[in-house]
Structure 1
Amino acid sequence: MSTPERAGWYDDPEDESLLRYFDGIIWSDRTVPRRAPSAAPAATTDPSGAHGADAAGPASTGSGTDVFGRPTGHVAGPATQAPYGTATHGTPYALASEPTTADGQVLASYGARVGAYLIDWIILAVLYAVFAGWGWWLWMKDYLSLAWDAAMANQPERVESLTPEQLVGMLDWKFFFIALGITLLVQAVYHVGFLSTRSATPGKMALGLSVRSTDRLGRLGVGTAFMRTLLPLAIGVFSVIPLVSYLTSFVAIADLVWPIKDQRRQALHDKIAGTQVVRGKQPPATSS
């Protein structure tokens, strides 16, 4: 079975009478009939008063709807069929069971969103190491040097005997705040930059997803992109505060799992910014 380039409904190679759904990563077990039952041909009248199918001519057939709700009336003989899974604005058609935006664009699945998140997480981890790694190292330099010397001398008690006050005193906190600031700046520039120029981060682009406003097509503005990044940035800031970090952990988890049950498949940061993650690319915003 060949693998399509994007999610959608495609001809089932194992059964010519069915369509099978590809979720963007693997083939699913979901199938539907290629065509819904068509209504009986309607009788027409020719100029001489004749009735019935003969008057309509041999090229006329009945009309009905296919599984996407589109008319199936056609002229007998070879015909060109629109490819399954292609909508007028470049996004897949959805069956009734698939959630869409208000104007019909198919929402991204939770699995695809998780995959995109992991790709972005890996890229950001590399960027953090490149731009802020030196600051994190200088913050813990004295402690890491002590731990290394203790390990080389096989004297673990030198580290185990440290009191909390001694440990805190060994850390250079000015470098902690410098490294934290650079890390948050890299995160903000990454998300706001890609969302406002491409409507998608590299992780989402890799899986054929994009981000749009709930009320219109087109690329996000810088302000909307920043609002979408605001909650993750706040989580990063408050996660370093003792005791408060426990609350931010719950918020971070809730943000990640919220799209599973949400009718519009929005995470908490989507709700703050008024955005949705959809399948397909976003066209440039059209002026009214």
Structure 2
Amino acid sequence: MAHPQSPGWYDDPENPQQLRYFDGVVWTRHTSPRSTRPAPGYAAGHGQYGSAPQDSAPQGSAPQAPAQGPGHGVGAPGAGPAPYGPGQGGAGPGWQPPQQWSPQQQAPQGGWHLPPAPTTYGAQARTPDGEALAGWWKRFAARLIDWVIVWLGSLPLTGYFIYRAGNELGPAFDRYVREIEQGNAGATPPTVTPDVLKWVVAYSVILTLVAIAYEVFFTTRTTAATPGKRALGLRIRLRERPGPLTFQTALTRTVIPMGGNLLSSLPLISTLVAMLQLADGLLPLVNQNKQAIHDLMARTNVVDTRKV
């Protein structure tokens, strides 16, 4: 389907018996049947298309097409859509051909208005150079895969600390369960004692350091992606230019999602850390560039290499 160069009423490419409005970007659903005589109100003084007669359409309605004079505005067979402009056939006495309306011309007060241009709602978000950005669910799934890999891979280093914390907490938990089974509604649940806390902190520190090393190592490679992201076709890049990340940029991206875990085992600030990490994880859902807080800090984007 041919596209005109400017907004206005043109021969309908799908139906030669009517006109269709082109808004400068796409053909709209607004159509108007052809007429064999000039429309009232297009006599002298109404030479500019868009001048509203007394019974003009209410404000905010679809644009109204002027009626055609005989032989006016009809495209040649096989040709593209002819603009609805000055005619080549005869016109009634005193009738002035309508001019092509342009967006720079102001619509008459109380008359029709140009239909709104299409918005970008639902369009694929992209980097400035055109790479498609990754969706939230894919990023979440990739992060989950990476955390499973990190947790399993770090067990040789963290297993001992998990075992010692379990030994410290186990007896108190067993005692609490027995009291509940005996009908003691006032049983006190086990608390994290200093002896338990020291093993939990050690476990958290080692796991976090392994996660940071894992993230930095893979995102500074040529692929610029962790195994979880590669499995789903994702890659990390600077927003303004493609390519692997520098060590500093890769490290900056880990401050909130991973570095925050160093503080999550401390009772006084663990809630604040959890809220910050939650906000970081959910921000790509509402950010127009699909960036989390750590992306904004490092000026990065996660792109989907499987989208075009």
TM normalised by structure 1 equals: 0.57
What amino acid sits opposite 2:163 in the alignment? W
Query: Deviation digits for residues 116-173 of structure 1, max 9, x if unmatched?
Result: 1221222223234342121122133133255458879998799x86687xx5447344
In 2, Cα distance between equivalents of 1:163 and 1:107 = 46
Describe the SS at the equivalent of 1:230.
coil
Question: How many residues end up aligned between the 2 structures?
Answer: 189
Q: 1:190 aligns with which of 214, 218, 225?
A: 214
2:205 corresponds in structure 1 to 181
The answer for unaligned runs of 5 or more in structure 1 is: 1-36, 41-94, 282-288
Task: Report the CA distance between 1:175 and its aligned residue.
Answer: 3.0
State the match for 1:171 in structure 2: 195
1:257 aligns with 2:282: yes
Question: Structure 1 CA distance, aligned partners of 2:284 and 2:264?
Answer: 22
Question: Does residue 271 of structure 1 match 2:296?
Answer: yes
Q: Paired residue for 1:219?
A: 244
| Letter aligned with residue 200 of structure 2 | F
Deviation at 1:278, TM superposition (A): 0.5
Task: Name the structure 1 match of 2:161.
Answer: 135
Q: Whose Rg is larger?
A: 2
Which structure 2 segments of 5+ residues have no match? 5-120
Identity %: 30
Q: Match of 1:118?
A: 144
Contact 1:229 1:269 in 2 (8 A): yes
Aligned partner of 1:248: which letter?
Answer: V
Counterpart amino acid of 2:241?
A: R
Matches within 5 A, 1:14-53: 37-38=1-2
Structure-2 separation of matches of 1:238 and 1:212: 28
Report if aligned partners of 1:150, 1:156 keep a CA contact under 8 Å in 2.
no
**Structure 1 residues 148-205: Cα deviation after superposition (integer angstroms, max 9, x where no partner):** 58879998799x86687xx544734443332222111111111111111131111110
Distance 1:240 1:156, change over 3 A: farther
* Whole-angstrom CA distance in 2 between matches of 1:130 and 1:199: 27
Give the C-alpha shift of residue 245 in structure 1.
1.4
Whether 1:244 and 2:257 are equivalent positions in the alignment is no
Structure-2-length-normalised TM-score: 0.53
CA distance in 2, matches of 1:274, 1:170: 40
In the alignment, residue 280 of structure 2 is paired with which amino acid? D
Task: Give the corresponding residue for 2:17.
Answer: none
Using the alignment, how far apart are the partners of 2:172 and 2:122 within structure 1? 63
Kindly provide the amino acid, as one letter, of the partner of residue 235 in structure 2: S
